[in-house]
């Protein structure tokens, strides 16, 4: 992605937001990492935000059957009924939440769902509160409708999640809503049911909207006594965003969904009709199979693999002296403090990739507060590669004269 320069904006009819939306810093670093690989180096990739597993076989077969059977035309804008039923059933049986097929709109990934929500709920100038650090594209969704993303500093003490008090204190007459994610990117931080209820109460007291991104909720590893990502159990008025990308391993199929309260369903569907016509048809028929017992068994096996990798990486990095303030209960990221290296995050990441062929994402891609001293490790690579990566980092720290604290 190339940033639009001020000059280009001045001399070409580009929208102002074209200059505001930021490129990912990690793209340049990732490009360099793949270039090293092309030169014959082995590179350890901790920078990639998608599962290394490809889509599981039953789902691929269902997609192929859909294509072979001519299921290649538009569908309803909100998705095909059997898929909406399968998603609703997933909430009722697996997640323990009463969601009806009519409350579900199938979308082009969580990204499509967030686009629809911004279009239907936010006017120009409306503020959307979100946590810093957080998923960087969220600001772009707000900019698309000339809403204003407002990042509030989130602390490790609260697993980098916003609190109800913080939301209440930050609310202004321009604020329309809050965007939460649990587990979150880049931290894996989660909201307990109590913490979520606190934020929802603050939002509703101000007549606002709660958008809850649960894209990593299938990848929650540990039972927690205080509950986790429990969307509609806590707040029937929240908009739940989810996706086939992560737990279901279908990033490239571009399919997700939103669970909407009744009052917003019709406008969301109208925007879906106008903006997208329909979600990808073969992807929808493939996704129905993602809930089959065979596919679910594979997805759950993969979740166990992610848990093992998390434990390996947390153990290894802690031994090397990195500060990991909490062990994330879900997702596939670790947000790690690198201040003991004496380098800022970008210097650390570039030196690590250039000198030791280990690619990690600088925190500056995810926010402002504390970002320059944090990096994101994604454990979307095998345990063997994680071991190799840890060994290289050990060597790097030793060569750089940095001891474990």
Q: Interface with ligand PLP by CB under 6 A: which residues?
A: 49, 109-111, 135, 181, 185, 213, 215, 243, 245, 251, 256
Q: CA triplet 134, 337, 377: central angle to 5 degrees?
A: 65
Of 127 and 365, CB closest to ligand PLP: 365
**CA separation, residue 276 to residues 151, 263, 271, 397 (Å):** 29, 21, 8, 49
Of 139 and 185, CB closest to ligand PLP: 185
* 210 touches 241 (CB < 8 A): no
For the bound state, the minimum distance from the C-beta of residue 133 to ligand PLP, rounded and expressed in Å, comes to 11
For the bound state, the minimum distance from the C-beta of residue 10 to ligand PLP, rounded and expressed in Å, comes to 32
Of 280 and 341, CB closest to ligand PLP: 280
Of 109 and 149, CB closest to ligand PLP: 109
For the bound state, the minimum distance from the C-beta of residue 213 to ligand PLP, rounded and expressed in Å, comes to 5
Of 107 and 373, CB closest to ligand PLP: 107
Cα 317 from chain centre: 23
d(CA 2, CA 8): 12
For the bound state, the minimum distance from the C-beta of residue 331 to ligand PLP, rounded and expressed in Å, comes to 8
Of 154 and 390, CB closest to ligand PLP: 154
| Strands 127-132, 374-378: pairing kind | unpaired
| Strands 256-259, 239-243: pairing kind | antiparallel
d(CA 185, CA 271): 27
d(CA 219, CA 331): 5
Question: In terms of Cα–Cα distance, which of 59, 123, 36 is closest to 287?
Answer: 59
Question: In terms of Cα–Cα distance, which of 206, 243, 212, 248 is closest to 230?
Answer: 212
Residue nearest ligand PLP by beta-carbon distance? 109
Per residue in 5-21, is it b (16+ CB within 10 Å) or e — as a string?
eeeeeeeeeeeeeeeeb
* 218 touches 247 (CB < 8 A): yes
For the bound state, the minimum distance from the C-beta of residue 111 to ligand PLP, rounded and expressed in Å, comes to 3
d(CA 161, CA 61): 39
Of 212 and 352, CB closest to ligand PLP: 212
């Amino acid at each position: 992605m190339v940033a639009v320069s001020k000059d280009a904006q001045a001399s070409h009819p580009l929208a102002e937001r074209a200059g505001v939306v930021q490129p990912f810093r990690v793209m340049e670093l990732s490009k360099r990492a793949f270039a090293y690989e092309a030169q014959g180096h082995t590179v350890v990739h901790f920078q990639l935000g998608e599962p290394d597993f490809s889509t599981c076989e039953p789902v691929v077969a269902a997609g192929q059957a859909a294509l072979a059977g001519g299921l290649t035309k538009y569908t309803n804008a909100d998705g095909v009924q059997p898929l909406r039923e399968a998603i609703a059933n997933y909430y009722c049986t697996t997640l323990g939440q009463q969601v009806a097929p009519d409350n579900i709109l199938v979308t082009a990934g969580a990204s499509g769902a967030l686009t629809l929500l911004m279009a239907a709920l936010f006017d120009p100038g409306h503020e959307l509160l979100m946590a810093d650090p957080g998923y960087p594209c969220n600001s772009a969704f707000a900019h698309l409708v000339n809403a204003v993303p407002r990042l509030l500093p989130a602390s490790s003490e609260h697993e980098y999640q916003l609190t109800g008090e913080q939301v209440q204190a930050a609310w202004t007459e321009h604020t329309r809503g809050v965007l939460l994610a649990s587990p979150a990117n880049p931290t894996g931080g989660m909201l307990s049911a109590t913490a979520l209820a606190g934020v929802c109460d603050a939002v509703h007291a101000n007549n606002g909207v709660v958008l809850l991104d649960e894209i990593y909720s299938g990848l929650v590893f540990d039972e927690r006594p205080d509950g986790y990502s429990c969307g509609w159990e806590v707040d029937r008025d929240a908009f739940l965003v989810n996706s086939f990308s992560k737990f279901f391993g279908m990033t490239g199929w571009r399919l997700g969904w939103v669970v909407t309260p009744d009052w917003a369903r019709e406008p969301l569907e109208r925007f879906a009709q106008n903006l997208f016509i329909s979600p990808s048809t073969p992807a929808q028929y493939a996704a129905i199979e993602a809930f089959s017992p065979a596919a679910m068994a594979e997805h759950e096996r993969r979740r166990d693999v992610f848990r093992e990798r998390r434990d390996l990486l947390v153990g290894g990095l802690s031994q090397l002296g990195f500060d990991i303030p909490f062990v994330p209960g879900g997702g596939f990221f670790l947000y790690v403090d690198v201040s003991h290296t004496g380098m800022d995050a970008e210097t650390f990441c570039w030196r690590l990739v250039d000198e030791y062929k280990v690619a990690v994402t600088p925190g500056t891609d995810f926010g402002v507060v504390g970002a320059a001293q944090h990096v994101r490790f994604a454990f979307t690579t095998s345990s063997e590669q994680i071991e190799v990566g840890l060994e290289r980092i050990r060597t790097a720290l030793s060569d750089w004269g940095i001891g474990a604290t």
